[in-house]
A and B are shown apart, each in its own frame.
Chain A
Amino acid sequence: MAFVAPKETFAGKVFPVTIGTENEQTFGGENTLPFHAFEGEVPNRPLIAYEIQDVPPEDWPETVRKVYDAVGDDPVKWAKFCQDELKAKAIALRLIGTHPDNKDLSADDAAKTVSDVLGAVNVPLIILGSNHVEKDSEVLVKVAEVAKGKNCVIGKAQEANYKTIAAAAMANGHKLIAMSELDINLSKQLNILITQMGFEKERLITDPMCSALGYGLEYTYSVMERIRLAALAQNDPVMQPPMMADVGMYVWKIKETQASEETLPEWGGLEERAIMWEAMTASSLMLSGAEFLVMRHPKAVELVERFVDELMG
């Protein structure tokens, strides 16, 4: 029996999304399963953005906080550090300080931060709210205006607040992240609702909700695989936006990235373990379909970039 490569080709294709103005970045665009260049077109690498915040990273675990010790007190310094020293291809600014339980910073405070950061860097900017449904619809509307014309990514729009946020992203020429909670049907429904407002599906990014290795990773992994198969095999246009994995914030809050080796000797060194956790979560989700990732530790980013090099080379 002679071997014949069982190639599979698909009718569907993931939309390519381009962000930024000066140093544009494009992700998505493939017509095949993740990294299956042996049977389809994989025109773009996944994009990894470095996460920064509007307030100092006080609640980030030591292993990652110390990387930003000298710059964490100022989002502008922090952003420039990521761009110039870490060679970030994109920066994700999370306005966590606007959360009512955090510093409850106002939409105007957030707008100033966004405008300062935009003035300081020239890589694409992703602007993320604090994930507080009401506050986000106030804050993100304002910052979308400030960033008008910069072709940013704004997020995240959820079922409870998508109308105002999508309208603001649309009016100011941004891309939009649509987030739902670990369910392919909810994800599809939200994308439909947003496109029914007149928002182009080609400008959307689907966030099916991330989970860390050991903390529900398999759910995100399988929801992503199902969304990707719907996009490719069923050629469902609503499921064809590229997918996001918000890796850093899910990984850097669990025990594996914080417990010392003294407390848990059987878990081995904390530094390696914590970085490994972020890198492994990211690489696994890339294999299930994530094209756009937000991460925190430079060493983890470097490892994952190298992983992509080997997969695409």
Chain B
Amino acid sequence: MALTGVEIFKLLPKTNCKKCGFPTCLAFAMKLAQRQASLDACPDVSEEAKKILGEASAPPIRPITFGTGDKAVKMGEETVLFRHEKKFVNPTVFALEIKDTEADDVIEAKINDVVTSEINRVGQLLRVDSICITNESGDAGKFAALAEKVAQKAPDVPVIVATESPEAAEAAIKPFSGKNAILYGVTDANADKMVEIAKANKAIVGAKADGLEALSALTEKIKSTGVEDIVMDSGARKASELLEHNTYIRRAALKKSFKPLGYPVINFVQRDDSMFEALIAGLGVTKYASIVVLSSAEKWKNLALFTLRQNIYTDPQVPMQVEQKIYKIGEPTPDSPLIITTNFSLTYFIVSGEVENAKVPAYLAVMDCEGLSVLTAWAAGKFTGSKIANFIKESGIENEINHRELIIPGYVAILSGAIEEKLEGWKVTVGPREANALPAFLRSRAA
């Protein structure tokens, strides 16, 4: 639990020496409580106070970087249970499982699926982030060979090495030594040996236990050996258990400051049916998993999962924006209508959806209004006659269309005069107020 200013004050020297830059120890304590100051600023604080304050100020869910370089991903650091309270911080990592019993061509194809998985959606690059190699065969040599192959063909991809055998772990972790890999399969029975291997190779420890009590005991045991970076598997596999365990873990860490469960969670969601597997993975994305391990990564499945992750992890306080540009809907010709709206993503989605519904090809000019909707942008002075005129002129649309007619949202009918004044030779037509009237509006014009 975070300490209050008064609790922190009791641990300070109470000399009011001002060396920290604040007038009193109490003022400094208040800033510390708000996390707007660092304890390092106090030269006289005792070692004991440092320890207590250090533990109290650590984030309730430990931040961990998985992998190295450009493809490294961050996990943990979450602060809430519901996304409307505050942004979910580090998006769920998708890992594709490859077993050392799979045929060579299957292995090659899966590695290829991961390295070619990247797509661009609403301006963000999204991909399958990681590969999880599993020692299904029980054979250390086979496992090491798979590790070699993955390291070679997907050199920068963060890797999870999954085995409960220290011998196999030792053999397979080598190519990923020093690369912030995860050594998963550390149990109560093998912890001593496995933790040594993880330490020697600078790997994150993937703890596996049966249930939350056993998991708490296991992470404490691992931590007592000096390991800080742990990801946790509670053993949950069924949807009902995943929801229960993930919820309890998030709550225990955030609301009870229960340190033994203050680490990122890994969920294994493999199913025989890939579509069904995607739904279980979706449960992980919405309900608190930091890593979801999948058995396949088809393009249609990736698209659905990437999109869900993007939706759930957007900042609810910052309106989602789309890029300012002239979007083509259908296959517009130089005679197709030109419609303008603002770049609030929801506005864009609704308007573009209705234009698509109309089945009338059109140009949709989406203007950057800092993600505000039409009326709000107009009220804030961001959707004005002169700004619209500038945008249209600079967009280059005049070279693509034969006509000079701009359709504006009905709510800003008042702007027509101002736009016509600034946009010489253009005619402004007032469209419907609500997007759902666009299909009828466009069809009647086309008729």
User: A220 CA to B302 CA in the complex, in Å?
Assistant: 22
User: A276 CA to B256 CA in the complex, in Å?
Assistant: 37
For residues 58 through 96 of chain A, which have their beta carbon under 8 Å from a beta carbon of chain B? 59
User: A266 CA to B312 CA in the complex, in Å?
Assistant: 22
Interface centre among B239, B260, B345, B357 (most CB of A within 10 A): B239
Inter-chain contacts of A216 with B (CB < 8 A): 345-346, 349-350
Inter-chain contacts of A304 with B (CB < 8 A): 279
A131 within 8 A of B: yes
| Interface hit among B199-207, B281-289, B378-386, B411-419 | B281-289
Task: Choose one: B82, B260, B301, B307; the contact of A214 (CB below 8 Å).
Answer: B307
What is the distance, in angstroms, from B352's C-beta to the closest C-beta of chain A?
A: 9
What is the distance, in angstroms, from B407's C-beta to the closest C-beta of chain A?
A: 18
Task: Choose one: A3, A38, A265, A288; the contact of B216 (CB below 8 Å).
Answer: A3
User: A101 CA to B440 CA in the complex, in Å?
Assistant: 6
Inter-chain contacts of B287 with A (CB < 8 A): 287
A30 within 8 A of B: no
| Interface hit among B96-104, B170-178, B185-193, B242-250 | B242-250
Task: Choose one: B304, B316, B345, B357; the contact of A213 (CB below 8 Å).
Answer: B304
User: A272 CA to B260 CA in the complex, in Å?
Assistant: 41
Report whether B349 and A218 are in contact in the complex, using a CB–CB cutoff of 8 Å.
Answer: no
User: A265 CA to B300 CA in the complex, in Å?
Assistant: 10
B210 within 8 A of A: no
Report whether A268 and B299 are in contact in the complex, using a CB–CB cutoff of 8 Å.
Answer: yes
What is the distance, in angstroms, from B221's C-beta to the closest C-beta of chain A?
A: 12
Task: Choose one: B238, B248, B255; the contact of A313 (CB below 8 Å).
Answer: B238
User: A38 CA to B252 CA in the complex, in Å?
Assistant: 15
Task: Choose one: B255, B279, B311; the contact of A218 (CB below 8 Å).
Answer: B311
What is the distance, in angstroms, from A261's C-beta to the closest C-beta of chain B?
A: 9
What is the distance, in angstroms, from A225's C-beta to the closest C-beta of chain B?
A: 5
User: A217 CA to B443 CA in the complex, in Å?
Assistant: 28
Report whether A284 and B308 are in contact in the complex, using a CB–CB cutoff of 8 Å.
Answer: yes
Interface bits A249-282 vs B (CB < 8 Å: 1, else 0): 0000111100000000111111011011101100
User: A256 CA to B84 CA in the complex, in Å?
Assistant: 26
For residues 216 through 259 of chain B, which have their beta carbon under 8 Å from a beta carbon of chain A? 216, 220, 238-240, 243-244, 247-248, 251-252, 255-256, 258-259
6 A-B interface contacts by CB (under 8 A): A3-B258, A3-B260, A267-B299, A277-B304, A303-B276, A310-B280
User: A100 CA to B436 CA in the complex, in Å?
Assistant: 13
Inter-chain contacts of B286 with A (CB < 8 A): 221, 284, 287-288
Inter-chain contacts of A1 with B (CB < 8 A): 216, 220, 258-260
Inter-chain contacts of B350 with A (CB < 8 A): 216
Known: A1-B258, A269-B300. 9 other contacts (CB 8 A): A3-B261, A101-B440, A253-B353, A253-B356, A254-B356, A266-B119, A303-B279, A307-B276, A307-B283
What is the distance, in angstroms, from B381's C-beta to the closest C-beta of chain A?
A: 24
What is the distance, in angstroms, from A21's C-beta to the closest C-beta of chain B?
A: 33
Closest chain B residue to A184, Cβ basis: B84
Closest chain B residue to A285, Cβ basis: B286
User: A119 CA to B258 CA in the complex, in Å?
Assistant: 59
A35 within 8 A of B: yes
Report whether A2 and B216 are in contact in the complex, using a CB–CB cutoff of 8 Å.
Answer: yes
Residues of chain B having any CB pair with chain A under 8 Å: 82-84, 119, 121, 212-213, 215-216, 220, 238-240, 243-244, 247-248, 251-252, 255-256, 258-261, 275-276, 278-280, 282-283, 286-287, 298-305, 307-308, 310-312, 314, 316, 320, 345-346, 349-350, 353, 356-357, 436, 439-440, 443
Interface centre among B82, B212, B287, B436 (most CB of A within 10 A): B82
A189 within 8 A of B: no
Report whether A279 and B301 are in contact in the complex, using a CB–CB cutoff of 8 Å.
Answer: no
For residues 131 through 157 of chain A, which have their beta carbon under 8 Å from a beta carbon of chain B? 131
User: A35 CA to B121 CA in the complex, in Å?
Assistant: 31
User: A279 CA to B277 CA in the complex, in Å?
Assistant: 12
Closest chain A residue to B444, Cβ basis: A101
Closest chain B residue to A226, Cβ basis: B84
Inter-chain contacts of A284 with B (CB < 8 A): 282, 286, 308
Task: Choose one: A6, A211, A267, A280; the contact of B308 (CB below 8 Å).
Answer: A280
What is the distance, in angstroms, from A228's C-beta to the closest C-beta of chain B?
A: 10
Given contacts A215-B353, A218-B314, A229-B82, contact A5 B300 (CB under 8 A): no
